[in-house]
């Protein structure tokens, strides 16, 4: 069996064991909360009674997975270099409001309008991530602390912007403040036609199946190519695996920190776009929060690999979607949070275990194939 496949199989096995264990542990928690685990697990697969409700459930599930996937990608780019970009949260919220506002100030043909909004969002996220990167390379400020602090600034700043300079008109009776409505040309076409292919009813809630899914897939492929096939990706990998060796090989650590942080922030900038371009058409004070922090868990779960992150995002979204059905089943919906937390913890442990196991196996294979000539031969006392 090739070494790479061996490692991949071990990883998958580790994740599966972690998820099974997580279900077992969660069952205990659900029982303790006075509900039946069986009801709870049935609720996860209960997408509703009517065809419409089922379609809406599937769309909500996928719509939730897209921003989680992008958030996971953003975090993973930093993680690959041992950079902890905790600031994804602040980066995406700031990027979302700036992009929503800039997009509302002009009207252009749809492709241009959307492209401009995407570029503005990525640039805002990237620039905001540049701040901790510059602080780190010039003054050695730990990026964890810097990004956490910058999160607070970003949150307060967006709260101020949505109420002040970037505020649009508030409709009578509306409690939320919002940026001006985007023109029709900024709205990303939905993918509801896919439901037709399967003979399902088109979803109606949340703007249907949001078209940004396609952008996310393309983004995932690009990130994979950049990290796995290019010189830049090699430098990222080398810096992450062994900093001193990367330095000695001519990789400039300062440039790499800046590049990785800006790339991470740039991707983070896109997290809020599916909601804005696919559903709300504006940034409002009810905008989905916490995606940046969930992205950390998703990246951990996906082992910082785009494919893994996609599965992790789908899993998280699948669990998140069930919040409603759980309540119908009489199970506290915070069970979802417990399951997510347990999975992440167990997967981190499983990763560590399978990693060591894989390395051990590799060593043993090498030793076997070479005979025992790795041992020192001369023993003369």
- Site residues, another protein (CB under 8 A): 2-4, 229-235, 237-238, 241-242, 244-252, 359, 362-363, 365-367, 369-370, 373-381
**Phi and psi dihedrals of 15, rounded to 5?**
-65, -45
Q: Which H helix or E strand runs over 313?
A: helix 306-321
**Min. distance of Cβ 300 from another protein in angstroms?**
18
In the complex, least distance from residue 371 CB atom to another protein, rounded to whole angstroms? 9
Spatial separation of the C-alpha atoms in residues 56 and 202, rounded to whole Å: 8
Smallest gap from Cβ 227 to another protein, in A, equals 11
Contact 144, 84 (CB under 8 A): yes
Min CB(89)–another protein separation in Å: 30
Q: To the nearest whole angstrom, how small is the minimum distance from the Cβ of residue 361 to another protein?
A: 10
Nearest distance from C-beta of residue 115 to another protein, angstroms: 23
Q: What is the DSSP string of 46-76?
A: ---SSHHHHHHHHHHHHHHHHHHHHHHHHHH
Quick check: 292 and 125 in contact, CB under 8 A?
no
The distance of closest approach from Cβ of residue 334 to another protein in the complex, given in angstroms and rounded to an integer, is 38
253-268 and 110-139 are packed helices; what angle lies between their axes, rounded to 10 degrees?
140
Q: Which is nearer to another protein, 123 or 246 (CB)?
A: 246
C-alpha radius of gyration, the chain, whole number: 23
Q: 246 vs 273, which CB is nearer to another protein?
A: 246
User: In the complex with another protein, which residue's Cβ is closer, 52 or 237?
Assistant: 237
Closer CB to another protein, 109 or 244, in the complex: 244
Say how many CA atoms lie within 13 Å of 262 toward its Cβ. 11
- Minimum Å gap between C-beta 191 and another protein is 32
Closest to another protein by CB, 138 or 369: 369
- Based on CB atoms, which residue is closest to another protein, 88 or 236? 236
Q: Which is nearer to another protein, 174 or 242 (CB)?
A: 242
- Can you tell me the distance from the alpha carbon of 188 to that of 69, in angstroms, rounded to the nearest whole number? 18
Q: For residue 178, what are the β-bridge partners?
A: 284
* 80 three-class SS: coil
215-220-224 Cα angle (round to 5) = 150
- Of 124, 97, 116, 99, the closest CA to residue 178 belongs to 97
Of the pair 240, 265, the CB lying nearest another protein is at 240
Helix ranges, 46-179 (H)? 51-79, 88-104, 110-139, 143-163
Q: Please state, in angstroms and rounded to a whole number, the distance separating the CA atoms of residues 213 and 194.
A: 12
Rank residues 257 and 294 by Cβ distance to another protein and give the closer one. 257
Q: Measured from the CB of residue 262, what is the shortest distance to another protein in angstroms?
A: 17
């Amino acid at each position: 069996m090739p070494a790479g496949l061996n490692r991949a199989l071990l990883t998958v096995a580790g994740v599966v064991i972690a998820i099974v264990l997580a279900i077992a542990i969660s069952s205990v928690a659900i029982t303790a909360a006075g509900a039946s685990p069986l009801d709870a697990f049935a609720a996860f697969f209960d997408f509703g009674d009517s065809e419409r409700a089922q379609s809406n459930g599937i769309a909500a599930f996928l719509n939730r997975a897209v921003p989680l996937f992008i958030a996971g990608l953003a975090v993973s780019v930093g993680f690959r270099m041992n950079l902890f970009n905790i600031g994804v949260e602040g980066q995406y919220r700031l990027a979302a409001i700036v992009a929503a506002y800039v997009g509302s100030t002009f009207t252009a043909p749809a492709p241009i309008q959307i492209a401009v909004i995407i570029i503005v969002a990525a640039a805002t996220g990237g620039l905001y991530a540049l701040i901790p990167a510059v602080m780190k390379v010039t003054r050695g400020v730990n990026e964890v602390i810097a990004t956490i602090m910058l999160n607070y600034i970003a949150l307060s700043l967006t709260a101020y912007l949505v109420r002040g300079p970037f505020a649009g008109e508030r409709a009578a009776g509306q409690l939320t403040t919002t940026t001006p409505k985007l023109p029709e040309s900024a709205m990303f076409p939905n993918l509801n036609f896919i439901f037709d292919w399967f003979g399902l009813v088109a979803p109606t809630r949340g703007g249907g199946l949001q078209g940004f899914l396609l952008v996310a897939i393309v983004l995932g492929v690009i990130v994979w190519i950049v990290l796995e096939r290019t010189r830049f990706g090699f430098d990222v990998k080398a810096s992450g695996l062994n900093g001193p060796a990367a330095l000695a090989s001519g990789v400039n650590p300062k440039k790499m920190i800046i590049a990785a942080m800006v790339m991470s922030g740039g991707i983070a900038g896109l997290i809020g776009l599916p909601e804005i371009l696919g559903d709300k058409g504006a940034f409002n004070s009810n905008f989905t929060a916490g995606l940046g922090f969930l992205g950390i868990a998703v990246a951990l779960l996906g082992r910082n690999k785009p494919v893994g992150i996609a599965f992790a995002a789908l899993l998280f979204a699948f669990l998140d979607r069930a919040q409603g059905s759980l309540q119908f089943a009489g199970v506290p919906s915070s069970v979802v949070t417990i399951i997510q937390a347990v999975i992440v913890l167990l997967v981190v442990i499983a990763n560590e275990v399978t990693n060591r196991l894989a390395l051990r196996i590799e060593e043993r294979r090498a030793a076997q194939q070479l005979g025992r000539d790795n041992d020192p031969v001369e023993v003369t006392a």
